[in-house]
Amino acid sequence: MGVAEANGQYRVVLYIPGPGTRLVQGEVVTETGKTINDVVERIGMNLETNVDLLHLKFAIFDRKVAENGLKDSVSGFM
């Protein structure tokens, strides 16, 4: 998952792996919104499957987001 901020909105990029595959096949989705949770929910509504962050391996935050502090950003999905 990648997170950036512009114009007061978060932009989240998620890689959704294909079902039951270990190959690098999947879908990259991008969405924007007021909070990271809102964005992830919107992505889930646009996909046929639920977005489950329990299996999230890592998150990459844009420098601007990181410099403003990650406590609020991370607390929503940790």
What local confidence, expressed as pLDDT, does residue 9 receive?
Answer: 93
Taking all residues of the chain, what is their mean pLDDT, rounded to a whole number? 81
Least confident of 10-14, 24-28, 50-54, 57-61: 50-54
pLDDT digits (tens, 9 = 90+) for 14-43: 988 777 656 667 888 999 999 888 888 888
- Report the C-alpha gap between 73 and 65 in whole angstroms: 8
